[in-house]
Amino acid sequence: MRGVKLDRIDRRILRDLQDDGRMTNVELARRTGISAPPCLRRVRALEKAKVIKGYHADINPAALGFGVTVFAQVGLSSQAEHDLKAFEDMVGSWPNVRECHMLAGEADFLLKVVAEDWDAYQKFLTTRLTTAPNVSHVKSALAIRSTKYLPGVPVNVD
């Protein structure tokens, strides 16, 4: 957020919480070099300013039976704002789509889709995605392995 002024302590709080969102406020305060009450006030202010959007558990997809990750580049027939929004709303209702990014370039959207296996993705592709209103083409790329996954952004503390 451009209007939010972040000092070194705020950035340290953000970096540490991004690395471990379950860290106790006492531990976070210790790491930042301030006492627990002002640390908690800072965290609440960062949440209120929407610098911190939320907290979640990072779940291993394979542990729950999702062995396939596919990145689908989707082209639409119309890029009118109401058509873009309708596509985003529809994709938002599909639980297997874990990320949706509007793009500039050849494709209009990039979707990250998880599925149990290739057959399950193919069924999703042919019964939902390619048959969806306004979808003109889909190009699928199967992820073979992931070697780096860092949520969030780099936070410079210095």
Between 2 and 80, whose confidence is greater?
A: 80
Contact predicate 46/55, CB 8 Å:
no
pLDDT score at 45: 96
Residue 33 makes CB contacts below 8 A (sequence gap 6+) with 9
Which CATH code for domain 61-142?
3.30.70.920
Q: What is the mean pLDDT of the chain?
A: 95
pLDDT tens per residue across span 74-127: 999 999 999 999 999 999 999 999 999 999 999 999 999 999 999 999 999 999
| Tokens encoding 36 | 């627990």
pLDDT tens per residue across span 19-36: 999 999 999 999 999 999
Angle at the Cα of 38 from the Cα atoms of 57 and 48, rounded to 5 degrees: 55
pLDDT score at 158: 79
Domain extents for the chain?
8-48, 61-142
- Other C-beta atoms lying within 10 Å of the C-beta of residue 86: 16
Model pTM score? 0.87
Of the listed ranges 8-12, 38-42, 150-154, the least confidently predicted one is 150-154
Is 8-48 in CATH node 1.10.10.10? yes
Confidence of residue 2 (pLDDT cuts 50, 70, 90): low
Query: What is d(CA 110, CA 112) in angstroms, rounded to the nearest whole number?
Result: 7
Q: Is the pLDDT of residue 15 over 50?
A: yes
pLDDT score at 65: 97
Q: Is the pLDDT of residue 129 over 60?
A: yes
Tell me the longest C-alpha to C-alpha distance in the chain: 56
Q: What is the 3-state secondary structure (H, E, C) of the chain?
A: CCCCCCCHHHHHHHHHHHHCCCCCHHHHHHHHCCCHHHHHHHHHHHHHCCCCCCCCCCCCHHHHCCCEEEEEEEEECCCCHHHHHHHHHHHHCCCCEEEEEECCCCCCEEEEEEECCHHHHHHHHHHHHCCCCCEEEEEEEECCCCCCCCCCCCCCCC
